[in-house]
Amino acid sequence: MMKDTFMGYRRADGSVGIRNYLAIIPSVFCANTTVEKIAAQVPGAVAMPHAVGCAQVGLDLELTARTLTAMACHPNVGGVIVISLGCERFDPQEAVEAAKAIGKPLELFVIQKEGGTGATIEKAVEAARRMKAEIDKIERVPCPVSSLFVGTKCGGTDATSGLAANPAVGNMVDRIVAQGGSAILSECNELLGTEHLLAKRAVSKEVADKIYDAIYGIEDVLRSGLDPSLPAKRNHLISRGNFDGGVSSIVEKALGGVHKSGTSPIVDVIEYSVAPEKDKHGLFLMNYESHDGEVVTGMIGCGCQMVVFTTGRGNPTGHPIAPVIKVTGNPATYNHMSDMFDFDASPIITEGKTVEEMGQKLFDMIIRVAEGELTSAEEFGGTELFCVGRRHGYQKKSREQLWAGHDCC
Amino acid sequence: MVRKTLMINPADTVVMLLEDGKKGDTVITPNGEITLLEDIEFAHKVTIVDMKKGESVIKYGEEIGYMLQDLKAGGWIHNHVMGCERGKK
């Protein structure tokens, strides 16, 4: 029988978390060291250093503002300390107000006001310890499975990903959606050649058109970044590891990758680090490309409490505020580095196990992780997937321009 | 030696090797027994039909690219013989 509740953290605004972190977030990269020194003095606090916040304009600055605010407001975070420099482009007051609106404890310290690094650390550590003591009193309570929101991601794909790991993830996604929960498919550059299949699964013509917009839009971003004056290997659309693993083109990768979305209808296309509309649940496409850290962070910014990450080649990365479950479909990869994985989907290939069996097993693991079971990346303390999405030097095009002249391969 | 393969969709022009294959090994396909023309690694693709330059390579029942050259059945399909323009043009 499927479980319909799990033990999670119910937040003041009704949202549900599966972890209960005190996050120390810099509002600009200049505050990274200060943030790390604060977190080091408060056991259990997570530092969230990043590379952005300075000299950004337009959509690039918007992505930073949305993402940093979304991290501060995330249900896996019980309380937040924001460290600002004072002159950065992103105004940390945006995060302060958003946190206030949902009843999230947040304290802001500005290095240029507090009197430098040492004074900021001293004051912030005291506040962080106080806040941590409060957060630690929060207990898990029964929460509906329908409050789960799971991101899906491929990283280090090989040809087994499309056969075993991604279909198992897709089956798990269908189970989450069937229970009223939600999931995200993204990496639109790695969906080239599947847009007609995804559009058929859209709940309406409007959503189908948004799917074409997203995939052709990211394809245009990709194309705009190519530079024929550079050596050919600078312009490959998939990685060396993908080629070594038997994947020969971006479309072949896409046709395998799309399996991780299962068969559920696509209810909407959502933007990077923007939560779906309140009453919408189910499978979403997030309009973004496939840098592992940026796309995972964007999904968490949309509200995902965890991300399921398939990898045929092997990948050790983690995120500071959300569990990342590593799944492989390659038996040799699993046996070679099993401590880096949480789930082995290769029995689909080696033992003839069904996608349904492995999907159910993975669903059961999702519930255990939601209730606190640590993933491999959490055990190792991996946090490198916190990367804020970027978009600079690109002028957005109209639907007519993006759709013109499309025929596959 | 007969090597295990998987054909994902009946419309496919390739099968995927489920173990490393050596030149001279065979694979069983709907088109009969085919001899590998070269060493081909686990998870890589073998064409099960004679391909002409410009023809579409089909996997998952969909076009994954087009041939940059002719290739006999039993040959290794990878990015050295197959192109794809998506994301480029």
Note the Cα B70 to chain centre separation in Å. 12
Check pLDDT > 60 for residue A1: no
Q: Is residue A4 part of a domain?
A: no
B61, closest residue in chain A (CA to CA): A255
Torsion sign over Cα A62, A68, A73, A76: positive
- Which token pair is B8? 């994902």
pLDDT score, position B89:
76
| pLDDT exceeds 50 at position A31 | yes
Is A3 a residue whose pLDDT tops 80? no
Instruction: Return the minimum-mean-pLDDT range out of A12-21, A89-98, A234-243, A281-290.
Output: A234-243
Q: Are A246 and B78 inside 8 Å of each other by CB? A: yes
What pLDDT band is residue A408 in, cutting at 50, 70 and 90? very low
Helix or strand run (H / E) with residue B58: strand B56-59
Using CB atoms and an 8 Å cut-off, which of residues 318-337 of chain A contact chain B? 330, 332
**Domain end marker among A81, A104, A135:** A135
Q: Do A384 and A275 belong to one domain?
A: yes
Average pLDDT over residues A55-84: 97
Instruction: Give chain A's mean pLDDT.
Output: 96
Query: A112 and A251: one domain?
Result: no
Task: Say yes or no: A221 contacts chain B, CB-CB below 8 A.
Answer: no
Please report, for residues A111, A124, A301, A344, A376, the alpha-carbon distance to residue A84 in angstroms, rounded to integers and kept in the order given. 6, 11, 20, 42, 32
Q: Which pLDDT score, from 0 to 100, does residue A183 have?
A: 98
Contacts of B78 in chain A (CB under 8 A): 243, 246, 248
Kindly state whether residues A307 and A171 are assigned to the same domain. Answer: yes
A323 and A399 fall within a common domain: yes
Q: Provide the domain limits for residue A68.
A: 21-135
Q: Which residue of B has its CA nearest to A161?
A: B43
A110 DSSP β-pair partners:
A84
Q: Does B43 contact chain A (CB < 8 Å)?
A: yes
Residue-level pLDDT at A409:
43
B86 with A250: Cβ contact below 8 A: yes
8 Å CB contact of B84 and A409 = yes
Are A192 and B87 a contacting pair at CB < 8 A? yes
* Mean pLDDT, residues A235-250: 92
Other Cβ atoms closer than 10 A to B83? 17
Taking an 8 Å cut-off on Cβ atoms, the answer to whether B86 and A255 are in contact is no
Asked whether residue A359 is assigned to any structural domain, the reply reads yes
- Same structural domain, A398 and A249: yes
Q: What's A30's domain CATH number? A: 3.40.50.11900
Residues whose CB falls within 8 Å of the CB of residue A400, separated by 6 or more in sequence, listed in order: none
Q: How high is the pLDDT of residue A128?
A: 98
In chain B, residues 45-74 whose CB comes closer than 8 Å to chain A: 45, 56, 59-60, 62-66
Q: Do A316 and A196 reside in the same domain of the chain?
A: yes
Among partner residues A243, A332, A349, which is closest to B79 by beta-carbon distance?
A: A243
- For chain B, the first-to-last Cα distance in angstroms comes to 43
CB contact under 8 A, A409 and B89: no
Do A156 and A114 share a structural domain? no
Does B16 contact A163 at a Cβ distance shorter than 8 Å?
yes
Contact across the interface for B82 and A248, Cβ inside 8 Å: yes
pLDDT of A273 > 60? The answer is yes
What lies within 8 Å, CB to CB, of A349 at 6+ separation is: A160, A163, A164, A329, A331, B6, B18
Q: Please identify, among A135, A168, A197, the residue that sits at the C-terminal boundary of a domain.
A: A135
Evaluate if residue B16 carries a pLDDT over 50.
yes
| Same structural domain, A160 and A123 | no
pLDDT digits (tens, 9 = 90+) for A251-269: 999 999 999 999 999 999 9
The answer to whether A338 contacts chain B (CB < 8 Å) is no
pLDDT score for A156? 87
Residues whose CB is less than 8 angstroms from the CB of residue A107 and which lie 6 or more positions away in sequence, other chains included: A80, A81, A82, A124, A127, A131
Residues A26 and A168 in one domain: no
**A312: chain B residues, CB-CB within 8 Å:** 43
The two counts, helices (H) then strands (E), for chain B are 0, 9
Mean pLDDT of A228-257: 93
Average pLDDT, integer, range A24-39: 98
Taking the CA of residue A337 and the nearest CA in chain B, the distance in Å comes to 18
If one counts every other C-beta atom within 10 angstroms of the C-beta of residue A29, the result is: 17
Confidence of residue B10 (pLDDT cuts 50, 70, 90): very high
A6 in any annotated domain = no
In angstroms, the CA B68 to CA B61 distance is 20
**Closest in B44, B59, B66 to A255, CB measured:** B59
In a domain, A263, yes or no: yes
Same domain? For A227 and A294 the reply is yes
Per DSSP (E only), the strands in A155-243 are 182-185
Q: For residue B64, give the nearest of A408, A326, A359 by alpha carbon.
A: A408
A131 and A163 assigned to the same domain: no
Q: Are A341 and A327 in contact (CB under 8 A)?
A: yes
A398 part of a folded domain:
yes
- Based on the domain organization, do A240 and A294 belong to the same domain? yes
A158, B43: Cβ pair inside 8 Å? yes
List the structure tokens of A343.
């789930």
Cβ distance of A249 and B41 shorter than 8 Å: no
pLDDT of residue A406 exceeding 90: no
| Residue ranges of E strands in A85-217 | 106-110, 141-144, 149-154, 182-185
With a CB cutoff of 8 Å and minimum separation 6, the contacts of B7 are B15, B16, B29, B30, B48
Q: Could you give the number of structural domains in chain A? A: 2
Query: For the segment A287-324, what is each residue's pLDDT rounded down to a tens digit?
Result: 999 899 999 999 999 999 999 999 999 999 999 999 99
Mean pLDDT computed over every residue of chain B: 95
Give pLDDT, residue A2.
67
Reported as a single tens digit per residue, the pLDDT across A140-156 is: 999 999 999 999 999 88
| Residue A5 maps to a domain | no
Domain end: A80, A102, A135, which one?
A: A135
Provide, as residue numbers in chain A, all residues whose Cβ is less than 8 Å from the Cβ of B42. Answer: 246, 332
Q: Tens digit of pLDDT for each residue in A329-356?
A: 999 999 999 999 999 999 999 999 999 9
How close does chain B come to A36, measured CA to CA in Å? Answer: 39
Q: What is the DSSP letter of B10?
A: T
Domains annotated on chain B, with CATH: 5-83 (2.30.130.110)
Judge whether B6 and B60 are in contact, CB under 8 Å.
Answer: no
Query: Is there a domain that residue A346 lies in?
Result: yes
Residue A158 has pLDDT above 90, yes or no: no
Q: How confident is the model at residue A395 (pLDDT cuts 50, 70, 90)?
A: confident
